[in-house]
Structure 1
Amino acid sequence: MAAAAVLPRGPLSSEEGRGGALPRPSVVGMEPAQEAFPRKSDFDLPEGVTYLNGAFMHPMPRVVRDAVRTYNDRRAGFTTRTSDDPDISGAVKSEFARMINAKPSEIAFVPNTSTGEVLVVHGLGIPESGGNVVTDALHFEGAIVHLQALQRDAGLDLRVVMPKEGRIDLEDLERVVDRDTRLVELSLVTMYNGFQHDLKAVCELAHAHGAYVYADIIQAAGAVPIDVRESGVDFAACSGFKWLMGDLGLGFLYVQEDLIGRVLRRTQTGYHSVSRYATHFLPYDSPGSSPFSWTLGSSASAHYEVGSVAGGARAALSASIPYLRGLDVGRIEAHRQPILQRLRAELPALGFTCVTPEGSTSPIITFTMADGAGVAERLAKAGVDARVADHYVRFSPSVYNDLADVDRVLEALS
């Protein structure tokens, strides 16, 4: 009997490699990590520019730029298999899984962090399933908009904890989490002032009441050590263009393996959902009761991806995550501490008020002031790139910054 026509699909490798290690990506131009910080030689830093805005969009290291160029050259050279290569996809997921101490089978691609958050909320059946959602006012604004829209349009019981002195107190979360809480949503590192939750303590609180925890980790992944096993977090998502040093258009959703499908259901089904697809109507096909037959996969990829991903952004991550793991995220975190400490110590004398809590080690430090326009003008004139709003300025140093960059900030604002 002739065999059915079985069509190849991209995510098979990650499905077959459930719980196992996949090969590291081969990155053109990748060199062993140097010992010394700052890592200025790893980047094409423009002359006269002091970049302290990694929390907005992180520049690509040269090795990442080269990986994207190689991908684009192959695409232009009719090497079309590069666009949907399951080995590259599996390797990228495996690298990210190692970074956060997850399994590759617990990782799915998402186009951005917001998509991950939406998949979690609706995959839990919120608000149809009843119960409340707890979040805080320092959570990502896009997630707040999503939750408040559900509150307005579907009657979601949404409870928002307000910050005190730039932080969210666990005791305030305790007051609003109860047996009816379905989900606690937060940003592990907040975009406004860099406050970092004690994720393990939040998870213990939520789990004690039968609730799940979703963490937006876009301002954390690649910048602070993350261990999903140690923290006990149920779901997490991020994009790749900030501290992962990749590009727009691709990121990751983590779902704890026992919750895949059982608790966090599929809300969409497509090409990447199946582990096998066959036809039964083409010449030499085996007969079947339907023109098509297929089997759903069991991994996070099969549950929460639908179709093709951004190939250029995936190429960037295939180089950036090994680069970061080579540097070691803990060493990256340690490198920036003197920079953050000096900004905290010296900017108040120039009329700025620090709103990042004492003891914070995240990559973000924020100061309030009366005249944002004047600050923006002075920093721009000095070639300093930072996030300036109407009444605050946010600095987010990275691996290429040093104390000389702080000197330029202080000189510009003096």
Structure 2
Amino acid sequence: MKVTRRSFVKVIPAALVTTHSGISQPIVTGTSSETGLPVRDAFVTQQFEICLNNARWHPLSIAARKATEDYLEYKSRGIWNQNGITSPISILVRESFAKLIHATPNEIAFVQSTTTGENLVVSALGLTQPGNFNIVTEALHFEGSLYLYTELKRRGVDVRIVKPHITDQGWSIDKADIEKVVDQNTRLIAVSWVSMINGFTHDVGWLASLAHAHGARLFVDSVQAAGCVPIDVRSAGVDFLASASYKWLMGDFGLGFLYARADILPTLQRTQWSYRQFSDIEYHAFPGDTPGPFPATFDQLHTAAGYFETGTYANAVLAALSYSLPWIQQLGVSNIQQHVHGLNAMLRKEMPQLGYECITPADAQGAIVSFSVKDDAGTAAKLKRANVDVSLNPRRMRVSPSIYNNEADVRSLLEALS
């Protein structure tokens, strides 16, 4: 019996797709004539606090929340009326992310998180056990990634972690320090495009050229870049890129993306297997089935999904992203970047006068600007009294405005600290 992908599994109601076949426009007020930002009326977060902590997780827009609620309302009815595992809404979201980073949809796999994507890449390249190779990363990479590579190092894998330069110009990773540790045995260079620590931004095109000159691949964590920094994986030469959706893509936990360059896919090992990795199945186990190898034959997908997808989608997050990703495209990532850099310029100028020295390099491209903190408890108390939300870690503060923030929000932070 031939069972097509269309009839094999039923998921995601068609009503959800038809409800959001057109993207409604949010109410936009108080905008800049240059960028169309901020869009304050598209969010409700400012009703609760002054949120300048979008690098932690980004609030849902009112319209994205409505898309999610429509899905939940339909799910509560318990009716499946769409055949197939590949739903129109998942196609829309996959295509939207591919467009955002200048990739093709076949190069995009849905994954649970950025870290899941990075683990899958390391495994697919065969780098989880010691061998005649090395991996290069750096200390401003995501902490979960540093744990991954530290554990591989304990197994005996040759992992080389580049230390940051700490200067009055900001914390950064020097290109010369990376060049020193990359050699002909390097198989992977893995970095965060924009560092979660202080927004330091790698020259990704340079890293890709360095990796390829030594026969290595480049993986970039783009969770602090995708949605607020223009990304073109094709022109930059990126081999692999991963991002969760709950930050600048304005989705939620549980669904992210993994980009894998199409021409690299045939060189990879499949290390996990799932019903999402084949297009058709033909059974040979039951009465009336066509004879063949027991129990079935499969048509494998030769796409990123065919190599990496291992489970069901987070449908509620897909619903939110079906609004958020096209909206980000509509607003323009360059406009978003210009808007947040304007707000961060105020902080770069004023915060040092209040005793908070900037540790973010001047050429950082993301939405993050970080500062050193001398009095953690005192700073936290001031911000709490003023109901201003930023990210506080021991001896440092991270501020990350977004598309709904304005100069008054920044002034509230400065006044709280003064």
Q: TM-score, normalised on structure 1?
A: 0.92
Give the match for residue 6 of structure 2: 8
Q: Is the 8 A contact 1:379 1:409 kept in 2?
A: yes
1:58 has 2:58 as partner: yes
SS at match of 1:354: coil
Residues 112-137 of structure 1 show CA distances to partners (whole Å, capped at 9, x for unaligned) of: 11110000111100044531111110
1:34-79 Cα deviation digits (max 9, x unpaired): 5631110111134351110000000011111011001101101223
- CA distance in 2 between partners of 1:258 and 1:368 (Å): 44
Distance in 2 separating the partners of 1:396 and 1:24: 35
Q: Aligned ranges for residues 48-127 of structure 1 at < 5 Å?
A: 49-81=49-81, 84-127=85-128
- 1:212 aligned partner: 217
1:390-409 to 2 correspondences below 5 Å: 390-409=394-413
2:112 and 2:256 in contact (8 A); partners too: yes
Correspondence 1:314-325 to 2 at 5 A? 314-325=318-329
Cα deviation, 1:315-365, whole Å, max 9, x if unaligned, reads 111111011111010000001122101101011111111100113231000
Task: Mark the runs of 5 or more structure 1 residues left unpaired by the alignment.
Answer: 13-22
From 265, 269, 272, the equivalent of 1:268 is: 272
Runs of 4+ off more than 6 Å: 9-12
Are 2:25 and 1:31 equivalent residues in the alignment? yes
Aligned pair partner of 2:371 in 358, 367, 370: 367
Select the residue among 337, 343, 364 that pairs with 2:341. 337
State whether residues 29 and 66 of structure 1, in contact with CA within 8 Å, keep that contact through their aligned partners in structure 2. no
2:261 to 256, 261, 284: 256
Q: Map Cα deviations across residues 74-102 of structure 1 (whole Å, 9 max, x no partner).
A: 10122335795522212211110000000
Q: How many pairs were matched up?
A: 400
CA contact (8 A) 2:4 2:279 kept: no
Local SS of the residue matching 2:266: coil
Is the Cα contact below 8 Å between 1:260 and 1:300 reproduced in 2? yes
Residue equivalent to 1:295: 299
> 3-state DSSP class of the match of 2:180?
helix
The one-letter code matched in structure 2 to 1:144 is L
For residue 205 of structure 1, report the CA deviation from its aligned partner: 1.1
Return the TM-score normalized by structure 2: 0.91
SS at match of 1:334: helix
Q: 2:244 aligns with which of 239, 242, 263?
A: 239
Tell me the distance in 2 between the aligned counterparts of 1:25 and 1:185: 40
- Listed as ranges, the gaps of 5+ residues in structure 2 are 11-16, 29-34
8 Å contact from structure 1 (residues 28, 66) kept in 2:
no
Tell which deviates more after alignment, 268-277 or 26-35: 26-35
The structural deviation recorded for 1:7 is: 5.5
The match for 1:132 is: 134
Comparing 346-355 and 120-129, the one that deviates more: 120-129
Q: Is the 8 A contact 1:32 1:326 kept in 2?
A: no
The equivalent residue for 1:16 is none
CA contact (8 A) 1:4 1:284 kept: no
SS of equivalent to 2:47 = coil
Range with bigger deviation, 76-85 or 294-303? 76-85
Q: CA RMSD in A?
A: 2.2
The alpha carbon displacement at 1:28 in A equals 6.4
